[in-house]
Amino acid sequence: QSALTQPASVSGSPGQSITISCTGTSDDVGGYNYVSWYQQHPGKAPKLMIFDVSDRPSGVSDRFSGSRSGDTASLTISGLQAEDEADYYCSSYTGSGTLVVFGGGTKLTVL
């Protein structure tokens, strides 16, 4: 069982927006501004999409945005495109020796 809770799957049509939630506790998501989101295509390594809750690394489309309310972080993808179909994982700094915990992952299907 993963430390952070994500929905197993979400879906949307091209051009639509979707949001993936990531629920933790005050010991991780709610306690630090260090939530990250990763995109993983089949057979590939994860790719950093969002860090520090809402910042985007250079080169990541501004269609990807992050936010947080209390112990729940969210990833929103607007203007869905076929290439967005992938697995998405959230993670959070924990402040303990564990360093970082992950969510169980969400499979995004673009209909």
Partner 1 sequence: QEQLVESGGNLVKPGGSLRLSCAASGSSFGDSYMSWIRQAPGKGLELISYVRGSGTYTYYAASVKGRFTISRDSAKSSLFLQMNSLRAEDTAVYYCASPSVRGIIAYWGQGTLVTVSS
Closer residue to partner 1, CB minimum distance, 8 or 13: 8
Closer residue to partner 1, CB minimum distance, 16 or 48: 48
Q: Which amino acid is at 51?
A: F
Least Å from the CB of residue 23 to partner 1: 15
Lookup: tokens for 40 = 């993983």
Q: Which amino acid is at 85?
A: E
Least Å from the CB of residue 49 to partner 1: 11
Round to whole Å and give the CA distance between 36 and 52. 6
Round to whole Å and give the CA distance between 16 and 37. 20
Lookup: tokens for 35 = 């939530």
Least Å from the CB of residue 14 to partner 1: 26
Residue numbers of the site for partner 1 (CB under 8 A)?
2, 32, 34, 36, 38, 45-48, 51-52, 57, 89, 91-94, 97-105
Closer residue to partner 1, CB minimum distance, 35 or 80: 35
Least Å from the CB of residue 31 to partner 1: 12
Round to whole Å and give the CA distance between 101 and 93. 7
Using DSSP, state whether 74 is helix, strand or coil: strand
Closer residue to partner 1, CB minimum distance, 14 or 66: 66
